[in-house]
Amino acid sequence: MKTVELKAPYLIFTGSESRPTYAKTGAGLVEWRRELCLGHLRLPGGTLDLGLPDMTVAEAKAAGIRSLVIGTALVGGRIPDDWLDILEEAVLLGLDIVAGVHSRLADIERLAKAAAKSGASLIDVRVPPPVLPVGTGKKRSGKRLLTVGTDCAVGKKYTALQLEKDMRRAGLKADFRASGQTGIMIAGQGLPIDAVISDFVSGAAELLSPDNDADHWDVIEGQGGIFHPGYSAVTMGLLVGSQPDAFVVCHEAGRTHIEGWEDFPLPTIEAVIERTILIGQLTNPNITCAGVSVNTSSLSADERGKYLADLSERLGLPCVDALKTGTDAIVARLEKLKVGA
């Protein structure tokens, strides 16, 4: 797996982004590594509030910040030209730049020259290992749970992290396996599945979750969405290579269409369960759905309770909001089902 060592504390940079869906890297770091995030840098038009004090690059340097982390995940994963002045300034002041986009920082001449002058590092998280195998489909020891989604940015990473936390608290052996740039930044290691050449995606997923003890759970962060018109390919490759014994469907209450692809209605949770089982059975005939995790941040507490109760009754599965209610109900189902035994 790819290992990254980021110099803390961080300045989270979100450019002029105003859509929370596209700032999930910054939001994820603040949610799970809040103690390492000291400041937020926005360009004009950027209305996102990460709950951090606004800082300029110079103020961040004076405050002891050591890394500027690009906190957005733009469609296509590139670095816009209007960011370069800010990034170059940060590098010249000695701040490392950390990016999880598809553009390579070192390939940007201005940044490479600035880094050579200041000694700062340009850290690309979204770069897979140079040699990866083709998937074998062979059964591996240990147990695996994969989070899947009705869409992108619906809580797959957060759910996986909370599941790891709750499973360990329940006395289970469990490890979070990061498959995306933000998860890798949070965990310090992982494998950026969506940057892997398509022939090797399932093989990379096998490496991400290798053989383990029979009672050990790998909790694998999902990517994309199985019904997503742009990103379903990586979702299916990760699903086949992960060979999950169980999966949890992640969803956002109130979302009706694929984010950014407004001509595509959101699939039902039932449809996601059905298709995930159909494809997942290729490498694990016993794959099962363990529950549903819903981002209910748009609902009041009373609305949340009724929404989750109604959904659970409809599906016959435990339905939770991973951050608001925890995932104990799903963990209990996993133990009761003896999944992977």
Tell me, what's the pLDDT at 169? 97
Q: Report how far residue 90's alpha carbon sits from residue 14's, in angstroms, rounded to the nearest whole number.
A: 14
- 């990460």: which residue's tokens? 50
Can you give the pTM of this predicted structure?
0.90
pLDDT at 341 over 60: no
pLDDT at 306: 97
- Residue 7 φ then ψ, to 5°: -85, 120
Report the pLDDT value the prediction gives residue 340, as an integer from 0 to 100: 59
Q: Do 148 and 291 form a contact (C-beta atoms < 8 A)?
A: no
Give the pLDDT mean for 149-172: 96
Q: What are phi and psi of 31, to 5 degrees?
A: -70, -45
Q: Evaluate if residue 4 carries a pLDDT over 80.
A: yes
Please say if the pLDDT value at position 189 is more than 70. Answer: yes
Rounded to an integer, the average pLDDT of 252-279 is: 97
CA separation for the pair 221, 238 (Å, rounded):
10
- 327's CB contacts (< 8 A; 6+ apart) are 159, 162, 163, 166, 248, 291, 293, 320
